[in-house]
A and B are shown apart, each in its own frame.
Chain A
């Protein structure tokens, strides 16, 4: 077996893991499976493209590659703006759609169906604005560096892995060591009691959207940097995101990241051993096996 699949799996897995954190937080706190989450990945990637393009047009120096990387300062700066814009987009979708359904005490199935509708709308809007033609942050070629053991990686890939690792630790610390994190865990367990103890549940919900969509944007930017940017990129990641969120245990941030890596590795293994057309089947098989044998996931607690 080619050892390179480990690195390929880790890259894909880190993107899946970042996206799955948003899915798991939305699921545990807002209590529905948000099928529009993949679209935040796509929108994050396109927002960064647009912002980096605008910054590059303002100053050509921002397009000069930084050190060993393939991109200039326009992309990291654009990524920061894209993260904020994607968070804003999530808040807008909540204000226009999910918030109104919550007020009407809509059932979970209505929320899920609404998320399908939101996903279609967001994806179509993206295709309308940017067309469905694949685009790239940079067309500069990068030489993969040997890391030992027959494994190679480009500086961009290593940076993506590092950013994902830092973000997972940061989100974990946010949830376990801060007041807003405590509030999020409390709302996840019992929203009514959370209100009684002085927590403003609406503020927690806003934080979940901002955090989940922001992480999705970074996953999208990583995917765009390493592969390509397409309106369908979020949809393609949706099944692996849910497989990772469920495998990790709903509500568990480290679980979502670890499960993302497992799903990524399984996909890479499937591509290498069975064929690229079976990539999605690997995530689906994991999802089915977890639901059958350990529905609470790796880090979840049995009901």
Chain B
């Protein structure tokens, strides 16, 4: 555990999976400090997505504990977590394609007091001017990068203390990934703790404060992003350095 400062989110011995007798996440201890950006990395099938889905309430937690600050949210259903300040952006199908941009944002704003809804959506339009240009456009007509931005904007409507993103770079061009990640860094610098599950290790470590590497549902390595990026063993075993070396002349 390398986190310092006040705790935004934590898990203790978390065991989770779709079937009770088949755990995918096997006893993960994890801490994120307020305002920290933590990347969760690891090979395919390591349980990264299952881990964050369990925190978000989409995968059953079999044992252990997940807490938002000091609030135990292990048994809190998915739809209530946003009320407590936890927002989750899934990897795929993370917007309502048949609804307009505005309706996507209003859906999240509906849990706010009535007088704050419009004001908060306007704030988000100011933060994401691309979305403000055509609020009545069907979200399904947006490009991949714009969809990701809409999903992030919707997650921010409730001013979460913790934002979890499951592979936000999936399916995006390198240029758009850079744009999305610089936006995520700006959101983090504004005080939102971010948990970032990523396959794009280089991009994730470039913006993360800290990273942990999951292998077969367990934490195998943990440290500052800079340390992990420079660790040759970690890079070779889990971050694809060997493959990168092989393909480079």
The residues of A with any CB-CB pair to B shorter than 8 Å are 179, 182-183, 185-186, 189-190, 192-201, 301
Q: Which of B52-105 contact A (CB under 8 A)?
A: 56-58, 77-80, 82-83, 88, 90, 93-99, 103
CB of B145 to closest CB in A, whole Å: 19
A176 to chain B: closest residue by CB: B103
A189–B93 alpha-carbon span in the complex (Å): 10
- A185 pairs with B96, CB closer than 8 A: yes
A192 to chain B: closest residue by CB: B58
- A197 pairs with B82, CB closer than 8 A: yes
Could you list some 17 contacts between A and B, CB below 8 A?
Answer: A179-B106, A179-B110, A182-B110, A183-B107, A183-B110, A186-B96, A186-B99, A186-B107, A189-B98, A195-B78, A195-B79, A196-B82, A197-B82, A198-B80, A198-B82, A198-B108, A198-B110
Given contacts A183-B110, A198-B79, contact A193 B99 (CB under 8 A): no
Between A and B, how many residue pairs show CB distances below 8 Å? Answer: 62
- A185 pairs with B98, CB closer than 8 A: yes
CB of B87 to closest CB in A, whole Å: 8
A residues in contact with B111, CB < 8 Å:
198
A183–B106 alpha-carbon span in the complex (Å): 10
A193–B97 alpha-carbon span in the complex (Å): 11
B48 within 8 A of A: no
B154 within 8 A of A: yes
A residues in contact with B108, CB < 8 Å:
197-198
CB of B61 to closest CB in A, whole Å: 15
Chain B's interface size range is 20 to 34
B residues in contact with A200, CB < 8 Å:
79
A38–B228 alpha-carbon span in the complex (Å): 64
Q: Which of B57, B79, B99 has the most CB of A within 10 A?
A: B79
A residues in contact with B83, CB < 8 Å:
198
CB of B141 to closest CB in A, whole Å: 12
A185–B57 alpha-carbon span in the complex (Å): 22
Besides the known contacts A182-B106, A189-B99, 17 further A-B residue pairs in the complex with CB atoms under 8 A apart: A179-B110, A185-B99, A185-B103, A186-B96, A189-B97, A189-B98, A190-B93, A190-B96, A192-B58, A192-B90, A193-B96, A196-B90, A197-B107, A198-B80, A198-B107, A198-B110, A199-B79
CB of B160 to closest CB in A, whole Å: 11
A residues in contact with B110, CB < 8 Å:
179, 182-183, 198-199
A197–B151 alpha-carbon span in the complex (Å): 10
A residues in contact with B107, CB < 8 Å:
182-183, 186, 194, 197-199
B25 within 8 A of A: no
Identify A201's interface contact among B79, B99, B158, CB under 8 A.
B79
A residues in contact with B77, CB < 8 Å:
195
Identify B98's interface contact among A192, A199, A301, CB under 8 A.
A301
Given contacts A183-B107, A185-B98, A185-B99, contact A198 B158 (CB under 8 A): yes
Q: Mark B91-132, 1 if CB is under 8 A from A, else 0.
A: 001111111000100111011000000000000000000000
Q: Mark B130-161, 1 if CB is under 8 A from A, else 0.
A: 00000000000000000000000010001000
B residues in contact with A179, CB < 8 Å:
106, 110
B residues in contact with A192, CB < 8 Å:
58, 90
A202 to chain B: closest residue by CB: B79
